[in-house]
Amino acid sequence: MPPELPWRRRRHRADGYRYGAWQGGPDPLSAPYDVRAAVDEIGRDMLEGRSVREALRDLLRRGTGDRRGLGDLRRDVDRRRRALRRRGDLSGTLDKVRQQLDQALAAEREALATEDGDEARLAEMTLDGLPPDTAGAVRELADYDWHSLAAREQYEQIQRLLQREVLDAQFAGMKQALSGDDPESMQRVRDMLADLNELLAKHARDEDTPDQFDEFMDKHGEFFPENPKDINDLIDSLARRQQAAERLMRSLSREQRAELSEMMSQALGDVDLESQLAQLRDNLETLRPGSGRPRPAGIDGDEPLGYGDAVGAVADLADLEALERQLSQDYLGASLDDIDVESLERQLAPSDVADVRALQELEAELERQGYLRRDADGLALTPKALRRLGESALKRIFTQLDASGRGDHDDQRFGAADERTGAFLPWTFGDERPIDAVRTVHNAVLRRAAGPATAAGAPSTAAPLAVEDFVVAETERRTQAAVALCVDLSFSMITEDRWQPMKQTALALSHLVSTRFRGDALQIIGFDRTARRLSPIELAEVAPDWVQGTNLQHALKLAARHLRRHPDAEPVVLVVTDGEPTAHLDSDGFPTFHWPPLPETVQATVAEVDAMTRLGATLNFFLLGDDPGLARFVDAVARRNGGRVLTPGLDRLGEYVVADYLRARQGRRRFS
C-alpha cells in the first residue's frame, strides 16, 4: 500500500476523500517570491529619494520574504574565499618532491656504504656533487645508475608524481585516471589530447558539430568530472584551470617558480605529450584570449598542496573573486543575469543557488508583469507600478483616518457619479439615475403577495418584475474640483527626512483622485528655486537636486493657470512646505534667490496669493518643521486669503492632506 500523502487525511468516505492543510513542510505550491510586496519595498525606497535602479539594487541585496539577498550571499562568498586562502601552502609539490628525493638519496647512500670498490666511491662522489636545488638534483639523477632498488623506486615515484601533477593541473580527472601507474593510462592521455586538440581546432574554424562533442565525451569523459554540457563549457573549464595554473606560478617565489617549471618539464619526458600540451595551450589562448597578466593567488596556509590541488584551489579562488564582484552589482549596467550560476553551484550550497535563481526570477517578473521597464536611461516605473504605490499609500492613510475617528473614511464609490440622498423615485424611461435593485425586487414581492392566490390555493414564490416595480435612487449633483497640490522639493526636505512623507502623500492623493474622483482635475506642482508641473510618475522618480530656494511665487502662478483652465470646478489649493519663500521670478523670467528673504520675494509671493483669492481659491498650508519665519508668513497669508494653516507631524501628513481635500472639494460654504 503506498504511503499516505502529507496533504491528504486518512478518511475515505463514500462521497470521496477529505482534504486538509499541507503538513509536509513548506508549501510546495507557494510562490518563491511576492512581486507586489517587492514593488511596495521598491516604492518605499523611491519615496525616500532613491532612483528605481538604486531601490531595486537595495531590494536584491536585502532579499525578499524568506529568500536571502545578494548581501548575505556575498558574505558567504567572502567567508569561503578567506577560508580558501588560509587553506594551504602552494609550495606543497616542491616540499613533497624534496622529501621523496631526500629519502631516495638516503637509501642510496646506505646501499653504497655496504659496497666496496671504486664504482661505489664514484657514485658517492656523484651524489655529493648534486646541485643544491631540487630541480637540478632531479635533472642530474635522470641518467644515474641506482644501486638501491628502493631508491630507484622512490626516484621513479617522483617522476610519476610530477607527471600526474602536471596533467592534473590542466585536467581535473587526470590524477585519478593515472593513479594506477598503468602505461596504457598514459596512452589514453595521449589519445585524449590528440582528439581534444583536433576538436578545438575544428571549433576555431566553425567546423565542429554537437555530435562530435558528444562522441568525444563518450570516449574521454573520465578525464572531465565537471561533465561539460557543450564545447563552450569544455573550453571555459580548460581555460579556467590554465589561467589558474599561471596565477599559481606567479604566487611562488622566483626561485620556486623556476625550480617547479624545470621539474615539470623534466617530468613529462615525452616529446609527443609535451607537444600536445603546448598545442592545447595555443588553442585555448586563441579561443579564450587571456585578460591580462594574472595576479598572484594570495593563498597562504599550512597544509601542503599538490600542484594539481593548488591549481584547483586557485581556480576556486578566481571563481569566488568573480562571484563577489557579480553579487555586488556595483558596476555600470549590472544585472542578475551577470551572475555565473554554474560557478555559484561549485562554490556555495544548493540553497544559495536557489535564492539567486529566485531573485533572478523576481527581477524578470517585475518587468514581465509590467511593474518595471527598461529604456535608454535604464530602469523606470510603469503606470501599473505607480497605481500600486498610490494604492498602498492611500490605504495607509485611510487606516490612519479610521483610527483617528475623524469621520473621513474609505469610500469605495468610483467616478463622478452623484451622491445618493437615501430617497427613492419611480423609474421613468431615459432616467440615468441608478436603479435600486433591492427596493425594486421588494416592490415586486409586495405586489405579488397582495394579488390573487395561485390555482393550488397558495401564493407563488415567483415574483416577476413589472415596470411599476422599478425605482431609482434620488441623487444630488456632486461638486467637481480643480486641485493644485504644491510640494516643496528644496534640499531641506531631504535633510530633515521629509522627502518620503511628502512623496507618499502626493502619490496617495493622485491615486485617490484618479480612482475615486475621476471628474476632478489634479495638478502636482513641485518647487525649489523654480516650480514645475509633475506627473505622478515624474513625482515618484524625482530625486533631490540639492538646490537652495523656495519659490512659492512660481508654484502659485502655475496653480492659478491650472485653476483658470477649470472655471466651473471647486478650486482646491494645498501647499506642503517647510520653509518661507526665499526665491521668486523676476520680470525676465529668471529666478532670484536670497536668504534671508528679500522684500521683493515676499511682495511677489503675496501678489500671487491675492490673484489666487480673486479666483475664489483658498490656500491651505501644511507646515513641516518649526521655521518661525515661515509661521509668520503663512499666518499673514491665512488672514489675507481666508485659508487654514495646519502643522501635522510627518507620520500624519498624508492623513491631513487627504482629509482636507475631501473636505474642500465639497464646497467651502458647506463647511463654513
State the angle between helix axes of 254-268 and 271-287 in degrees (0 to 180), rounded to the nearest 10: 120
CB atoms within 10 A of CB 537: 17
Residue 522 pLDDT > 60, yes or no?
yes
Strand 618-623 versus strand 378-381 pairing type:
unpaired
- Residue tagged 521683493 (cell numbers): 600
Displacement of CA 399 from its chain's centroid (Å): 30
pLDDT in tens, 51-73: 888 888 888 888 887 788 888 88
pLDDT in tens, 453-487: 554 455 556 678 888 888 888 765 555 889 999 99
**Domain boundary assignment for the chain:** 8-87+321-381, 91-296, 419-476, 481-671
Helix, strand, coil fractions of the chain, as percent rounded to 5: 55, 10, 30
Displacement of CA 197 from its chain's centroid (Å): 41
Q: Are 377 and 391 in contact (CB under 8 A)?
A: no
Lowest-pLDDT range of 1-15, 218-232, 648-662: 1-15
The C-alpha cell at 493 is 526636505
pTM above 0.85, yes or no: no
**Burial, 592: exposed, middle or buried (Cβ in 10 Å; 0-12, 13-18, 19+)?**
middle
End-to-end CA distance of the chain: 80
Q: Could you tell me which of 662, 482, 665, 485 has the C-alpha nearest to residue 564?
A: 482
Length of the chain in terms of residues written: 672
For residue 554, report the phi and psi dihedrals to the nearest 5 degrees: -65, -40
pLDDT in tens, 11-56: 445 556 666 766 666 566 566 678 888 888 888 888 777 788 888 8
| DSSP per-residue letters across 225-261 | TT--SSHHHHHHHHHHHHHHHHHHHHHS-HHHHHHHH
pLDDT in tens, 77-126: 888 877 776 655 555 666 777 788 888 889 888 889 888 888 888 888 88
SS3 call for 301: coil
The C-alpha cell at 502 is 511628502
Question: Could you give the CA distance from residue 354 to residue 160 in angstroms, rounded to a whole number?
Answer: 42
The C-alpha cell at 64 is 525578499
Q: How confident is the model at residue 163 (pLDDT cuts 50, 70, 90)?
A: low
Q: Are 160 and 287 in contact (CB under 8 A)?
A: no
Fold exhibited by the domain 481-671? Rossmann fold (3.40.50)
pLDDT in tens, 295-324: 554 555 555 555 555 556 566 777 777 888
Residue 365 pLDDT > 80, yes or no?
yes
